[in-house]
């Protein structure tokens, strides 16, 4: 079974200044999509503890092995995926101009995708992405779409899910001029995407 989850956030410079936490009045939405039945589980399987091995000298039982910590780095990062092309195709179909790539937004997207790959799909999904996007000084509004796919990177599937969600659709069709997309793949194979708009 493949698991997918997405979340959207939008911040306006009028309502939030850069480097301030999101307030309850800002739009922060997480959408859990299902496979047609009940919502898919978002719980990540815990990594199993290593199995202790028997020693030749049996003077004392070995101490219990500690649980293996989650990896602090993703196994891979993909900057500038097919997601931007899909977003621009969606915008063109609606008569909107394409979004240009921003290396500043890519830095924010990379940090957020890596953060998600380390923490897993647990709140907070959005921390400061839209506020940091405003620091790029590319406009007075910023937005972020985030999600993950348990089967690795799948731009087409995530884009379809983003377009089916009103909050994510609003970011894709929003009054933005710039975009950056970054995937981070965790050691367990789950791929996390951060799409930053400004």
pLDDT at 76: 81
pLDDT in tens, 141-152: 889 999 999 988
Q: Which CATH class is domain 4-16+28-34+71-197?
A: alpha beta
Please choose, from the candidates 183, 182, 44, the residue with its C-alpha nearest in 3D space to the C-alpha of residue 120: 44
pLDDT in tens, 63-97: 444 333 344 555 588 887 799 999 999 999 999 99
Give the domain ranges of the chain: 4-16+28-34+71-197
Partnered with residue 8 across adjacent β-strands are 29, 145
Cβ density class 141-154: b for 16+ within 10 Å, e for less: bbbbbbbbbbeebb
Instruction: Give the CA count within 13 Å in the CB-facing half-sphere of 159.
Output: 18
Burial of 103 (0-12, 13-18, 19+ CB in 10 A): exposed
Please choose, from the candidates 154, 184, 179, 152, the residue with its C-alpha nearest in 3D space to the C-alpha of residue 168: 179
Q: 155-164 vs 83-93: helix axis angle to the nearest 10?
A: 40
| Rounded-to-10 torsion of CA 74, 77, 83, 85 | 180
pLDDT of 101 above 90: yes
């Amino acid at each position: 079974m493949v698991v997918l989850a997405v979340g959207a956030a939008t911040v306006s410079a009028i309502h939030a200044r850069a480097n301030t936490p999101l307030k309850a009045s800002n739009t922060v939405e997480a959408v859990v999509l299902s496979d047609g039945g009940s919502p898919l589980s978002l719980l990540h399987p815990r990594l199993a503890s290593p199995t202790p091995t028997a020693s030749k000298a049996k003077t004392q039982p070995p101490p219990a092995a500690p649980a293996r910590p989650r990896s602090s780095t993703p196994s891979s990062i993909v900057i500038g995926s097919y997601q931007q092309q899909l977003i621009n195709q969606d915008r063109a179909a609606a008569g909107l101009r394409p979004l240009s790539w921003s290396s500043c937004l890519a830095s924010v997207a990379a940090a957020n995708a890596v953060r998600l790959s380390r923490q897993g799909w647990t709140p907070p999904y959005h921390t400061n992405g839209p506020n940091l996007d405003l620091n790029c000084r590319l406009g007075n509004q910023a937005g972020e779409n985030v999600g993950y796919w348990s089967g690795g990177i799948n731009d087409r599937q995530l884009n379809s899910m983003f377009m089916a969600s009103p909050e994510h659709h609003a970011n894709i069709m929003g009054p933005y001029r710039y975009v950056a997309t970054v995937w981070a793949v965790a050691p367990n194979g789950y791929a996390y995407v951060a799409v930053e708009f400004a």
